[in-house]
Amino acid sequence: MGKDSVQVGLLGLGTVGTGVMQILQMNGKQISSRAGIDIVVKKILVRDKQKFRAVKVDPSLLTTEAAEILEDPEIDVVIELIGGLDVRWYVEEALKRGKFIITANKDLMATAGAALLRLARDNGRNIYYEASVGGGIPLIRPLKHSLGANKIVRIVGIINGTTNYILTRMDLAHLEFAEALREAQAKGFAEQDPSNDLEGRDAAYKLCILANLAFNSNLHCDSVYVEGISNLQQRDIIYARELGFTIKLLAIGEELPEGLALRVHPALVPLTHPLAGVLFENNALYVEGNAIGEVMFYGPGAGAMPTGSSVVADLIEVVRNINHQVENGIMEISFQDKNVVPPYELASAFYLRMQAKDQPGVFAGLANAFSEEMVSLDMIIQKRSSEGKAEIVLVTHAAKEKKFNAALAKIHKFAGIMAINSVYRVIPK
C-alpha cells in the first residue's frame, strides 16, 4: 500500500478515550508491531479543549470541529467514543468518506447497527464494536469467529455491572436495594440517573447485539422482554440463599424450534452455576454451543482501561486489514429475520413469596391451584407466623409461563392468601 503509518481520528476523550490513549502510550511499540505498521492518532474531537485530561496529549491534537476528522482524507480510521445516538451522523459521514469505524457505543449498534453495517458494506468498509458489550471481555469476536463452528443454543449473560454490583452487595452485605444503589453511585459503578441500568434496558441493548451474532439474526431491540431489579427486596435474596440460589439480572437468548427467546430479568441462579460466582461490577457471558458444549467469558465489563483494551484490539485488526489489504467481508450482512417467541410461551421454574393466613387449608389450596394448571412444586418453605400471618416461599418445576400465570391468578383470588410479594424466574443448573 506504500503507507508508513495509519492515521486515526478519535471522537471523544472521556473515560474510554482516555483509556485508549493511555494504552497506545503504554504499549505503542507492541501494538504497532502487531498491526504491522505505525498507528498515529492525528486528531481528537472534544467538547472543551481547555478541560483537564487524565492523559497527556499534545494540545494541538484536540479539536472541537468534527470536520477536521471527517473531512481529512489522510484519516483511515475513526474511533467513536462520544456515545449516544446523535453521533450516528458522524459515523455515517465517516463511512461515506471511506473510513473504517470502531465504536464502544451499544445504543448506536443496538438500534442502528444493521443499517450502519449495510452502509459500511456499500462503501467497502467495516464497523468494529467489541467494546460495545462487556467492556474489556472479548465477546463479539469469539461469537463471530472463535465459536463460528458451533450452532449456539443459548447465551446467558450478566452484562450490566451496575446491577451486578448492587445485587452482590445486597447478597453478601445484606444491604437493602436503596443502600446498595447509593453505595454503587458513590463508588462510580452507577450513574446519577441509573434507570437504564436498573430497569434492564442497558442489558437488553447488549443482549440484542450478542443475540444477533449468536443466532445470525436481525433482531429489533424492542423484541427483548425486559424486567429490571428496582423492586427486588433483600428478603428475597436471603430466601434464595436458603434454597441454594443467588439472584442475578440475567440476559438470556435462546434459539428454540419455534424461534428466538430473548429476555432480561432478575432470576434465581443455583449457587453451583458458574454465573453465581460473578460478583460486584464484573460481567460474564455463558455460551452453550453444539460443538464446544459450555464456555464462559468473564471479566471487567466497563472502565477506562478494560474498555480501551477492546477498542485498541479492534484498532489492531482494522490496521492489519488496511496494511495487508485484506478483503473486508461483513458477516452480519447475511443475518436473517427470525421469529421471536413471546415470553408467555416460554417455560421457566418460578420462585414465589407470599403472605398467607396462618390457618388450615392454605397449603391444600395452593397445591390445588398449581395442580389444576399442571404446575408441579419443587420446594416449599413456611416461615414462622406472627399475628396470624405466615410467609410462604415456594419454587416450582419448569412450566409454561402462561400456565404459571393462570395458577397465580387463581391464587390471587384465594381467601387464604393475603398478598403475593414476589415472583422471579429460576434458571436450571
174 binds ligand NAP (CB under 6 A): no
157 binds ligand NAP (CB under 6 A): no
Active site residue 413: no
For residue 340, give the DSSP letter: B
**Taking CB positions, which residue lies at the least distance from ligand NAP?**
14
Which one, 131 or 276, has the nearer CB to ligand NAP? 131
131 binds ligand NAP (CB under 6 A): yes
Residue tagged 452484562 (cell numbers) = 159
Find the shortest distance in angstroms from Cβ 68 to ligand NAP: 11
The greatest distance separating any two alpha carbons of the chain, rounded to the nearest whole angstrom, comes to 86
- Contact map string, positions 254 to 293, toward ligand NAP, x by CB under 6 A: ----------------------------------------
411 binds ligand NAP (CB under 6 A): no
Which one, 17 or 157, has the nearer CB to ligand NAP? 17
104 binds ligand NAP (CB under 6 A): yes
Find the shortest distance in angstroms from Cβ 368 to ligand NAP: 50
**Rounded CA separation 270/349 (Å):** 12
Residue tagged 443448573 (cell numbers) = 429
**Rounded CA separation 7/42 (Å):** 6
Cell of residue 369, nine digits = 391451584
Total number of residues that touch ligand NAP (CB under 6 A): 22
Quote the strand ranges of 85-187, DSSP E.
100-103, 127-128, 152-158
Q: Which of residues 126, 212, 223, 307 is near ligand NAP by CB under 6 A? A: 307
From the list 42, 43, 99, 206, the catalytic residue is 206
Which one, 303 or 416, has the nearer CB to ligand NAP? 303
14 binds ligand NAP (CB under 6 A): yes
Find the shortest distance in angstroms from Cβ 108 to ligand NAP: 7
Which one of 15-23, 172-180, 255-263, 338-346 is the stretch in contact with ligand NAP (CB under 6 A)?
15-23
Contact by Cβ (8 Å): 359, 380: no
Contact by Cβ (8 Å): 298, 277: no
Find the shortest distance in angstroms from Cβ 193 to ligand NAP: 13
**Rounded CA separation 428/347 (Å):** 11
Amino acid identity, position 154: R
303 binds ligand NAP (CB under 6 A): yes
Q: Classify burial at 316, counting beta carbons within 10 Å of its beta carbon; exposed 0-12, middle 13-18, buried 19 or more.
A: middle
Q: Is 224 helix (H, G, I), strand (E, B) or coil?
A: coil
Q: Is 13 helix (H, G, I), strand (E, B) or coil?
A: coil
78 binds ligand NAP (CB under 6 A): no
**Rounded CA separation 108/401 (Å):** 32
Q: Which of residues 6, 8, 17, 395 is near ligand NAP by CB under 6 A? A: 17
Amino acid identity, position 59: P
Which one, 89 or 344, has the nearer CB to ligand NAP? 89
187 binds ligand NAP (CB under 6 A): no
**Rounded CA separation 112/130 (Å):** 16
**Rounded CA separation 69/94 (Å):** 9
Contact by Cβ (8 Å): 207, 251: yes
**Residues 40-59 close enough to bind ligand NAP by CB under 6 A:** 45-48, 51
Find the radius of gyration of the CA atoms of the chain: 24
Find the shortest distance in angstroms from Cβ 308 to ligand NAP: 9
Find the shortest distance in angstroms from Cβ 321 to ligand NAP: 22
12 binds ligand NAP (CB under 6 A): yes
> How many CA atoms within 13 Å lie on the side-chain side of 257?
0
Q: Which of residues 10, 16, 101, 208 is near ligand NAP by CB under 6 A? A: 16
Cell of residue 16, nine digits = 474510554
Which one, 49 or 220, has the nearer CB to ligand NAP? 49
Which one, 105 or 246, has the nearer CB to ligand NAP? 105
How far is Cα of residue 192 from the mean position of the Cα atoms in its chain?
Answer: 20
Cell of residue 137, nine digits = 471481555
105 binds ligand NAP (CB under 6 A): yes
101 binds ligand NAP (CB under 6 A): no
Contacts to ligand NAP by CB under 6 A:
12-17, 45-48, 51, 81-83, 104-106, 131, 135, 302-303, 307
What residues act catalytically? Answer: 206
